[in-house]
């Protein structure tokens, strides 16, 4: 109880102390906050984009087989299914139907996909949250399309898809294969691509080689390969950015160190007075600890909050130009918040702790001196 | 009762600039009386006050306070001694700028862990005693000389100390304020405080309230007597 009152009193004094040195502390707070914002932005962004990519790829089949004509992706004949199935190590092969549809009225792009198991009938559709949000579709609404021949074609919204991640399902429209073929004029014996299940993933390189040999106009794509590419791109880019920001962090610490360690004559005198009127070294250090903690925690929390808003509400607009690679891979979308608390913890330990220690040491030195110099002014 | 026994203080001992500031001081300071350390500038008054008040340790000799040896106490106990037993009025007053009078007065009590409301009430009471209650929220640097002095005294009293230590308390005051100060000392003595002052101001050592005068010259006691 007494200790709580004591801490409270010391904190009271700490806060009024901080207010007294407004200029110095405000400058420090601003720089500190900006550094934390920048670092946390990169962390949030990289983590989310990796989570998004992983979510996309988790549902992706192990092996996709596309047909190439003149180096471009073309519809693939379903007769290939049987040929590929005959390869040893392939467990199952099926054709997929998917594509993009541009709606000129609303200026939006949809990804149309025929799901493996249809939970609704012909003439109906399930739509992603992004499509639903645009106000075009809620359950029971009718969505107008134009077929490849320009005729009106309508689907009734049967369901809105729950979104685990924006990227996966935002612009998604699920429909039956009959409707898909009618809309795009895809013949019964063709599919967009084929997906293969492989008994043993370590055989994938052998299997892809066999597929290319058997069907020279195809291109097999392994999931692991895509994953690695994504990982490499994001890790590499965020690595560069973090390296640049570490420079900023270092500059900040030189600045902060200078501000924090150079006890002004005024501060030294105050510590002497406090000692002289009966404060113990521990009390003085406690005060300085609260001071350092108040400042660095404020900066840390503000910085992290700003970074959160920047990345998840502001579309990471300030760092996107640097991490531009991904915007080529993906159309613009809002990132689903995904936070790596381990990383945040590291950021905490790299900012709050060193700062607090940096402020404590010189105060400790001033506090262990005998206070009799105060008597002489 | 404070007893000093053979107290010496040597600065920079063993070095080129070694300086003997106090030599073999043995005095007894009786409780509930006013004792003045009198002597010219540089004679060692401040050094002696800081040893009595537990702010520095003598190079040799012992100080006992109500029968307890304090010279060899660990630093933590010296802090507590300064806080609980002594109230200091410094020559430069040494108030902390930028914070209110009220907060300045409460500062010596913070490490005690007393309930904030009680402490605040006590501080306001002290301010009222010195006619400063209307100025409680004022920052220290906006005060007049007389107000600064009274705030410094109020701060010395917040922990209800047994002993008041004042170093050259009139050095920065005009005669009127000096007389006022001695009147306050008289009141404190009447309240049962032990008062130790260092001064070479006749307004202080010739005042009727003074019980004992200890004369110091070059770090030695030249004369210790009761006035009149
Ligand atoms: N920290 C110190 N180092 C060296 N000499 C000191 C120190 N403090 C005081 N002195 C010397 O001790 C002597 C007594 O000083 P002080 O006690 O302040 O005298 P007074 O208060 O009587 O003017 C002075 O000559 C002063 O220069
Ligand atoms: Mg002096």
Residues A367 and A275 in one domain: yes
Copy the structure tokens of residue A325.
């690679």
pLDDT in tens, B28-65: 999 999 999 999 999 999 999 999 999 999 999 999 99
CA A342 to chain centre: 14
Select the residue of B88, B97, B113 nearest A3 (Cβ to Cβ): B113
Residues A43 and A145 in one domain: no
Last residue of a domain, one of A221, A241, A268: A221
CA A273 to chain centre: 51
Last residue of a domain, one of A221, A253, A270: A221
ipTM of the complex: 0.94
Residues A80 and A188 in one domain: yes
Residues A191 and A257 in one domain: no
Residues 6+ away with beta carbon under 8 Å from A140: A156, A157
Residue in the block written with tokens 């080529």: A328
The whole-number average pLDDT for the span B85-90 is: 96
User: Are the Cβ atoms of B55 and A375 closer than 8 angstroms?
Assistant: yes
Residue in the block written with tokens 């000129």: A104
Residues A82 and A33 in one domain: no
Task: Give strand ranges (E) for B111-193.
Answer: 163-167
Q: With the CA atoms of B180, B182, B188 and B193 taken in that order, what torsion angle do they form, in degrees rounded to the nearest 10?
A: 160
Select the residue of B75, B82, B113 nearest A2 (Cβ to Cβ): B113
In a 3-state reduction of DSSP, which class is residue A224?
Answer: helix
Residue in the block written with tokens 């900040």: A252
Residues A270 and A349 in one domain: yes
A197 within 8 A of A60, measured Cβ to Cβ? no
Contacts of A370 in chain B (CB under 8 A): 55-57
Residue in the block written with tokens 């073929």: A181
Does A57 contact B at CB distance below 8 Å? no
Residues 6+ away with beta carbon under 8 Å from B157: B87, B126, B164, B188
Q: For residue A328, what pLDDT is reported?
A: 40
Residues A370 and A239 in one domain: yes
More confident residue, A103 or A134: A103
pLDDT in tens, A199-239: 888 888 899 999 999 999 998 988 777 767 666 666 666 67
> What is the secondary structure of A117-179 as a DSSP string?
S-SS-TTEEEE-HHHHHTTS--TT-EEEEE-TTS-EEEEEEEEE---SSHHHHTTEEEE-HHH
pLDDT in tens, A280-301: 999 999 998 998 888 889 999 9
Tell me which residue of A289, A274, A294 sits closest to B111, measured CA to CA: A274
Give A163's pLDDT tier (boundaries 50, 70, 90): low
Going by alpha carbons, the residue nearest to atom 10 of ligand 1 is B21
Q: For residue B50, what pLDDT is reported?
A: 95
Select the residue of B47, B76, B91 nearest A280 (Cβ to Cβ): B76
Residues 110..149 of A with a Cβ closer than 8 Å to B: which? none
The CB density around residue B117, as the number of other CB atoms within 10 Å, is: 9
Residues A244 and A319 in one domain: yes
pLDDT in tens, A102-123: 887 777 778 888 988 888 889 9
In a 3-state reduction of DSSP, which class is residue A97?
Answer: coil
Which residue in B has a C-alpha nearest to residue A269's C-alpha? B94
Tell me which residue of A173, A188, A196 sits closest to A98, measured CA to CA: A173
Phi, psi torsion values for B167, nearest 5 degrees: -100, 120
Residues A302 and A246 in one domain: yes
Q: For residue A292, what pLDDT is reported?
A: 85
Q: What is the average pLDDT value for chain A, to the nearest integer? A: 82
More confident residue, B80 or A334: B80
User: Are the Cβ atoms of B50 and A1 closer than 8 angstroms?
Assistant: no
Enclosing H/E stretch for B155: helix B145-157
**Crossing angle of the two packed helices B116-129 and A2-20, in degrees rounded to 10:** 60
Residues 6+ away with beta carbon under 8 Å from A339: A44, A47
Q: Does residue B97 have a pLDDT over 50?
A: yes
C-alpha span between A281 and A286 (Å, rounded): 9
> What is the secondary structure of A225-259 as a DSSP string?
HHHHHHHHHHHHHHHHHHHHHHHHHHHHHHHHHHH
Question: Does B11 contact ligand 1 (Cβ within 6 A)?
Answer: yes
Residues 6+ away with beta carbon under 8 Å from A155: A123, A124, A125, A142, A143, A145, A173, A175, A179
**Residue A274's domain spans which residues?**
2-57+229-376
pLDDT in tens, A136-153: 567 888 888 999 999 999
Tell me which residue of A230, A150, A235, A159 sits closest to A185, measured CA to CA: A150
Residues A155 and A37 in one domain: no
Residues A96 and A28 in one domain: no
Return the number of CB contacts < 8 Å for A and B. Answer: 107
Q: Which domains does chain B have, with CATH numbers?
A: 2-225 (3.40.50.300)
Looking at the structure of chain A, the number of domains it has is 2
Give B25's pLDDT tier (boundaries 50, 70, 90): very high
Question: Does B39 contact ligand 1 (Cβ within 6 A)?
Answer: yes
Give B9's pLDDT tier (boundaries 50, 70, 90): very high
Residues A212 and A314 in one domain: no
Does B82 contact A at CB distance below 8 Å? yes
Q: For residue A267, what pLDDT is reported?
A: 86
Ligand that comes closest to the CA of residue B168: 2
More confident residue, A361 or B201: B201
Distance to chain B for A167, nearest Cα, Å:
55
Question: Does B22 contact ligand 1 (Cβ within 6 A)?
Answer: no
Give A39's pLDDT tier (boundaries 50, 70, 90): confident
pLDDT in tens, A72-83: 889 999 999 999
Going by alpha carbons, the residue nearest to atom 21 of ligand 1 is B46
Helices (H), chain A: 2-20, 22-58, 79-85, 129-133, 166-169, 177-184, 204-214, 223-261, 265-276, 281-308, 325-329, 341-368
Does B41 contact A at CB distance below 8 Å? no
Best A13, A282, A367, A375 member to test B by mutation, with max B CBs in 10 Å, is A375
Q: Does residue A329 have a pLDDT over 60?
A: no
Counting from 1 in the atom list of ligand 1, the atom nearest the Cα of B40 is 22
User: Are the Cβ atoms of B96 and A6 closer than 8 angstroms?
Assistant: no
Going by alpha carbons, the residue nearest to atom 18 of ligand 1 is B46
The whole-number average pLDDT for the span A29-54 is: 82
pLDDT over 70 for what percent of chain B?
98
Return the CA Rg of chain B. Answer: 18
Question: Does B46 contact ligand 1 (Cβ within 6 A)?
Answer: yes
* Ligand 1 centroid, distance to B44 Cα (angstroms): 6
Q: For residue A168, what pLDDT is reported?
A: 53
Last residue of a domain, one of A221, A241, A274: A221
User: Are the Cβ atoms of A279 and B110 closer than 8 angstroms?
Assistant: yes
**The whole model's pTM is what?**
0.72
Buried b (16+ CB within 10 A) or exposed e, A100-133: eeebeeeeeebbbbbbeeeebeeebbbbbbbbbe
């Amino acid at each position: 109880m007494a200790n709580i009152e004591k801490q409270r009193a010391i904190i009271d004094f700490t806060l009024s102390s901080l207010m007294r040195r407004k200029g110095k502390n405000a400058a420090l707070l601003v720089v500190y906050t900006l550094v934390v914002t920048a670092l946390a932005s990169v962390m949030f962004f990289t983590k989310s984009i990796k989570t998004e990519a992983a979510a996309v790829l988790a549902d992706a089949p192990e092996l996709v087989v596309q047909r190439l004509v003149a180096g471009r992706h073309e519809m693939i004949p379903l007769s290939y299914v049987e040929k590929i199935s005959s390869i040893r190590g392939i467990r199952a092969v099926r054709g997929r139907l998917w594509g993009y549809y541009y709606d000129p009225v609303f200026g939006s792009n949809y990804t149309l996909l025929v799901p493996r198991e249809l939970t609704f009938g012909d003439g109906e559709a399930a739509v992603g949250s992004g499509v639903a949000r645009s106000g075009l579709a809620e359950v029971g609404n009718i969505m107008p399309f134009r077929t490849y021949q320009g005729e009106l074609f309508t689907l009734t919204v049967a369901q809105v898809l729950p979104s685990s991640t924006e990227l996966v399902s935002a612009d998604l429209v699920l429909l039956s294969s009959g409707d898909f073929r009618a809309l795009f004029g895809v013949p019964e014996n063709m599919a967009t691509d084929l997906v293969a299940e492989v008994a043993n993933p370590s055989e994938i390189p052998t299997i892809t080689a066999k597929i290319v040999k058997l069907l020279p106009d195809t291109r097999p794509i392994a999931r692991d390969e895509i994953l690695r590419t994504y990982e490499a791109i994001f890790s590499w880019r965020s690595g560069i950015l973090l390296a640049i920001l570490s420079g900023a962090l270092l500059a900040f610490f030189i600045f902060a160190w200078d501000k924090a360690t150079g006890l002004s004559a005024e501060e030294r005198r105050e510590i002497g007075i406090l000692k002289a009127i009966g404060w113990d070294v521990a009390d003085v250090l406690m005060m300085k600890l609260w001071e350092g903690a108040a400042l660095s925690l404020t900066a840390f929390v503000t910085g992290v909050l700003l970074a959160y808003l920047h990345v998840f509400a502001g579309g990471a607009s300030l760092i996107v130009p640097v991490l531009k690679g991904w915007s080529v891979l993906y159309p613009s979308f809002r990132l689903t918040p995904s936070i790596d608390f381990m990383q945040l913890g590291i950021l905490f330990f790299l900012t709050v702790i060193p700062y607090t220690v940096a402020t404590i040491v010189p105060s400790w030195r001033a506090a262990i001196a005998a206070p009799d110099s105060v008597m002489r002014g | 009762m404070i007893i000093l026994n053979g107290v010496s203080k040597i600065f920079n001992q063993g070095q080129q600039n070694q300086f003997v500031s106090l030599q073999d001081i043995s005095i007894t300071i009786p409780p509930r009386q006013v004792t003045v350390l009198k002597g010219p500038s540089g004679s060692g008054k401040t050094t002696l006050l800081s040893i009595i008040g537990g702010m520095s340790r003598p190079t040799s000799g012992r100080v006992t306070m109500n029968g307890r040896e304090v010279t060899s106490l660990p630093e933590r106990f010296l802090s507590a001694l300064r806080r609980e037993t002594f109230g200091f009025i410094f020559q430069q007053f040494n108030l902390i700028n930028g914070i209110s009078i009220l907060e300045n007065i409460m500062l010596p009590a913070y490490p005690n862990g007393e309930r904030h409301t009680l402490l605040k009430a006590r501080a306001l009471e002290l301010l009222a005693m010195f006619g400063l209650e209307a100025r409680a929220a004022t920052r220290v640097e906006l005060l007049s000389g007389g107000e600064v002095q009274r705030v410094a005294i109020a701060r010395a009293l917040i922990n209800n100390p047994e002993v008041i230590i004042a170093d050259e308390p009139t050095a920065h005051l005009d005669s009127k304020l000096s007389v006022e100060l001695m009147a306050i000392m008289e009141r404190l003595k009447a309240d049962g405080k032990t008062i130790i002052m260092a001064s070479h101001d006749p307004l202080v050592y010739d005042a009727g309230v003074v019980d004992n005068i200890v004369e110091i010259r070059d770090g030695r006691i030249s004369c210790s007597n009761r006035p009149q």
